[in-house]
Structure 1
């Protein structure tokens, strides 16, 4: 049992250190992109608040670690939303006139 606890502790330390350089948090990502959920589920048109969130998150990126944190957060949050449409999720940046540095799907490798 002690070996398992040690392995878990080391794994947690490695995961934490891999995100240590990120300045963008999952909470910030969630706040920025929550207004996009209605479009991602129902379609229609993208709201101005959603686009403002996209602009804000793009402005908040400082490095690759920030993009990885945001990718994981978007992926984890989207997985919890019934009826999420990943095609719509990945159209939001373009519809808002902003580039997204990656596409998010359930199988996206956010570590790259």
Structure 2
């Protein structure tokens, strides 16, 4: 089963149309359609994270077919935060997005030190 087939299965299991899912993740319907029809070899990680958050599904199941479709509540909270970050960042310029990414990397580096 491909990532597109798994996405379609999950979306239908949640009784959600492509339009509804696209709207909830802040993307166009074409993004969902292209993934479902396997026209995208590697969907953007932020898109995958947003989809998993909205559909409440396991990222490894969606991307690799590993594990079960449903995820735990703890993982859902984390995915929801990442989905919000994605929604906020998509309106920024590429330069602004790279600045935010650099800030996150700097922050996580300092946590390890």
TM-score by length of 2: 0.29
Higher relative contact order (CA 8 A, sep 6+): 1
Which structure shows the bigger proportion of residues in helix conformation? 2
Give 1 or 2 for the bigger CA radius of gyration.
1
